[in-house]
Amino acid sequence: MSPDTARPAETKPADLPVYADVLAAHERIRPHIHRTPILTSETFDRMTGAQLFFKCENFQKAGAFKARGASNAVFSLTDEQAARGVATHSSGNHGLSLSYAAGRRGIPCQVIMPRTAPEPKKAAVRGYGGTVVECEPSTSSREAVFAEVVARTGAEFVHPYNDPRVIAGQATCSKEMFEDLGDLDAIIAPIGGGGMVSGTCLSMSALSPRTQVYAAEPTAADDAYQSFRRGEIVAYDAPATIADGLKVPLKERTWHFVRTHVEDVLLADEEEIIAAMRLTWERMKIVMEPSCAVPLAAILRNPRLFAGKRVGVVITGGNVDLDRLPWLTP
Amino acid sequence: MSPDTARPAETKPADLPVYADVLAAHERIRPHIHRTPILTSETFDRMTGAQLFFKCENFQKAGAFKARGASNAVFSLTDEQAARGVATHSSGNHGLSLSYAAGRRGIPCQVIMPRTAPEPKKAAVRGYGGTVVECEPSTSSREAVFAEVVARTGAEFVHPYNDPRVIAGQATCSKEMFEDLGDLDAIIAPIGGGGMVSGTCLSMSALSPRTQVYAAEPTAADDAYQSFRRGEIVAYDAPATIADGLKVPLKERTWHFVRTHVEDVLLADEEEIIAAMRLTWERMKIVMEPSCAVPLAAILRNPRLFAGKRVGVVITGGNVDLDRLPWLTP
């Protein structure tokens, strides 16, 4: 490392999960998750010059990989903890997945959501048995309501990604890829808070250290890209991107994995993301979220990085509003 | 059979495929097709009271099960026949699949299509190396142009469904279901010309005679339903249904299988088909054609027929226009 890029030594965060936690997580959550299929596409292989393997977490329980981490957290609780339930703030896939996992264990789940969140998302949480607690659409209101709920119920907080149980759960996804495909040259996943990318780093460091882990991010919300280059966490307030699962910033545990293990953070522009999304629907016949298209868009933008390689691509989720497809909205 | 419903004995058509042809077809086409995955959905099981297994031929080569029959026909040809190429009239999945299979063998493929057919469909045929020969949008023009092409090239005609090689190829789909799932209580597939349904009857009669084979059809194009009830082929001129793969009538070979083996032909209305299509996209996260939604719509309409049973459902194809989704068009 040259003096110009020397970085101060960072303290290792407490409670980092290790590979033994991934093994335990996989045993623990097996009855509650799908072992998702891996699809290939000659078209995409021809377009990229790489051999791509798409791990279809859009087919996962509750429609996204988040069911892995949420199930691991919920089924790690003691009976005493479980009786008080779990709580989180997430209007996206984590809230839904935590509600799903809590429903499987038969315990309460409180999901704090802005009252302005789309009704179908609230209905989906309730459909799995979770309770939606509405707050105002501001960070201060969210934190106040969340604190009140936890004080009242004693519920266990399960953070969407900065939680060792969640990271270990997400790590089972790339563990399955390794079991099914052997040691890939690279794995690429979208990065928001970094739970999936961290889990991938964790599994690959144990199973296949030579496998490069790439993170893919919208240019319009490039906080992980900037963090990676500056050597410290960069967070934005409210970035605007079609990939709405990728707006949140890194936190200390996921930053640790990104900083120490990720090969690079690659960017894709909004039009590239939408084009890759549509192409995947058309050619692979799967319904997936805009976030999932970011890795393919990044591969198409950086063909020389991937040509000739065996590359795993994580399709992270499939919960998309079929009334508002990005290529049909002006 | 009561005197009222007595039917004249029908002559068995020539060249009916037998199960040995299915075994040979499966060996022959294995390098050219995907062994498609089978998905399940707790939501649909809860809704129907049945245990449903969705065979995802929307993930098949060229986007539909038709790649099976087309590949079997193309790779059954002698080298001498193959040198003259193949020809068909189909603006749908069969034309595309025949072009795909011919491309794999490196032989010419002529697809006669109305000049009014959508440009993307013509482009897709050309993309696999096939030649599009345009005719006027009338039966007489189609037949004249087709006769001219065959006379000029000596190409082998591969009918979309009334061809023993095609039926034996389609039969490999339910053979795979039997291999993966054992003997199901029922299998239900959409019916247009009846190639998939005939293949299913053919495989099940050898592998699992107790498995009931149901055909599902749009009420708006109920020619197979009427044929089944009247005991003779009923054909319509130009039925209007969203399930545009299911407009064609039965022919003598497919009618033979429908008449002798199918348990019943079940109907679904247009709104039921669109609702089942959207529901499948939302819950199973797969892109599929309206035709594929007809079986699920029929199951939801006839819950008592299927409750408590293990039922295979054929998702026949995924070639859909993403700019014209039926729930978004007025």
**Set of chain A residues whose Cβ sits within 8 Å of the Cβ of B326:** none
Are B185 and B272 members of one domain?
yes
pTM: 0.91
Residue A7 covered by a domain: no
Are A177 and A286 members of one domain?
yes
Report yes or no: A52 and A41 within 8 Å, Cβ to Cβ.
yes
Are A104 and A147 members of one domain?
yes
Interface contact B316, partner A, CB < 8 A:
no
- Distance of alpha carbon A241 from alpha carbon A269, whole angstroms: 9
Look at residue B10 in the predicted model and tell me its pLDDT: 67
Interface contact A286, partner B, CB < 8 A:
yes
Ranges of residues in chain B whose predicted pLDDT is under 50: 1-6
Interface contact A287, partner B, CB < 8 A:
yes
Look at residue B329 in the predicted model and tell me its pLDDT: 75
Given B125, B157, B189, which residue is the final one in a domain? B157
Are B195 and B213 members of one domain?
yes
Are A130 and A252 members of one domain?
no
* CATH number of the domain bearing residue B302: 3.40.50.1100
Look at residue A127 in the predicted model and tell me its pLDDT: 93
Q: How far is B40 from chain A (nearest CA, A)?
A: 10
Q: Does the distance separating the beta carbons of B284 and A285 come in below 8 Å?
A: no
Residue B325 covered by a domain: no
Angle at A24 between CA A21 and CA A26, to 5 degrees: 110
Interface contact A63, partner B, CB < 8 A:
yes
Q: Given the cut 0.85, state whether the ipTM is greater than it.
A: yes
Residue A153 in tokens:
């119920």
Residue B283 covered by a domain: yes
Are B140 and B189 members of one domain?
no
Interface contact A249, partner B, CB < 8 A:
no
**Residues in B 174-233 with any Cβ partner in A closer than 8 A:** none
Residue A329 covered by a domain: no
Residue B232 covered by a domain: yes
Look at residue B183 in the predicted model and tell me its pLDDT: 94
Q: How far is B236 from chain A (nearest CA, A)?
A: 31
Q: Does the distance separating the beta carbons of A325 and B285 come in below 8 Å?
A: no
Nearest CA in chain B to A323: B328
Residue A323 covered by a domain: no
Q: Does the distance separating the beta carbons of A322 and B323 come in below 8 Å?
A: no
Per-residue CA distances from B279 to A101, B248, B297 (Å): 23, 26, 10
Report yes or no: A113 and A135 within 8 Å, Cβ to Cβ.
yes
Residue B20 covered by a domain: yes
Q: Does the distance separating the beta carbons of A286 and B287 come in below 8 Å?
A: yes
Are A90 and A234 members of one domain?
no
Q: How far is B237 from chain A (nearest CA, A)?
A: 31
For A191, phi and psi rounded to 5 degrees? Answer: -125, 125
Angle at B41 between CA A187 and CA B171, to 5 degrees: 90
- Distance of alpha carbon A189 from alpha carbon A262, whole angstroms: 11
Are B264 and B218 members of one domain?
yes
Look at residue B186 in the predicted model and tell me its pLDDT: 98
**Set of chain B residues whose Cβ sits within 8 Å of the Cβ of A286:** 285-287
**Set of chain A residues whose Cβ sits within 8 Å of the Cβ of B328:** 323, 328
Look at residue A137 in the predicted model and tell me its pLDDT: 86
Nearest CA in chain B to A57: B285
Are A172 and A293 members of one domain?
yes
Are A196 and A267 members of one domain?
yes
- Distance of alpha carbon B20 from alpha carbon A296, whole angstroms: 43
Look at residue B122 in the predicted model and tell me its pLDDT: 93
Residue A324 covered by a domain: no
- Domain of A247, in residue numbers: 13-64+163-315
pLDDT averaged over 10-residue windows placed end to end, chain A, 330 residues: 49 92 98 95 94 97 97 98 96 94 98 90 94 91 94 96 98 98 97 97 98 98 97 91 91 97 98 96 95 97 97 96 85
Query: Which DSSP string corresponds to A124-142?
Result: HHHHTT-EEEEE-SSHHHH
Q: Does the distance separating the beta carbons of B284 and A59 come in below 8 Å?
A: yes
Given A157, A179, A195, which residue is the final one in a domain? A157
Look at residue A237 in the predicted model and tell me its pLDDT: 83
Task: Say which of A282, A284, A287 has its CB closest to residue B281.
Answer: A287
Count of domains observed in chain A: 2
Nearest CA in chain B to A279: B322
Given A114, A130, A157, which residue is the final one in a domain? A157
Are B153 and B174 members of one domain?
no
- Distance of alpha carbon A127 from alpha carbon A108, whole angstroms: 13
Interface contact A33, partner B, CB < 8 A:
no
- Distance of alpha carbon B224 from alpha carbon A106, whole angstroms: 48
Report yes or no: B75 and B31 within 8 Å, Cβ to Cβ.
no
Interface contact A327, partner B, CB < 8 A:
yes
Q: Does the distance separating the beta carbons of A323 and B323 come in below 8 Å?
A: no
Are B220 and B188 members of one domain?
yes
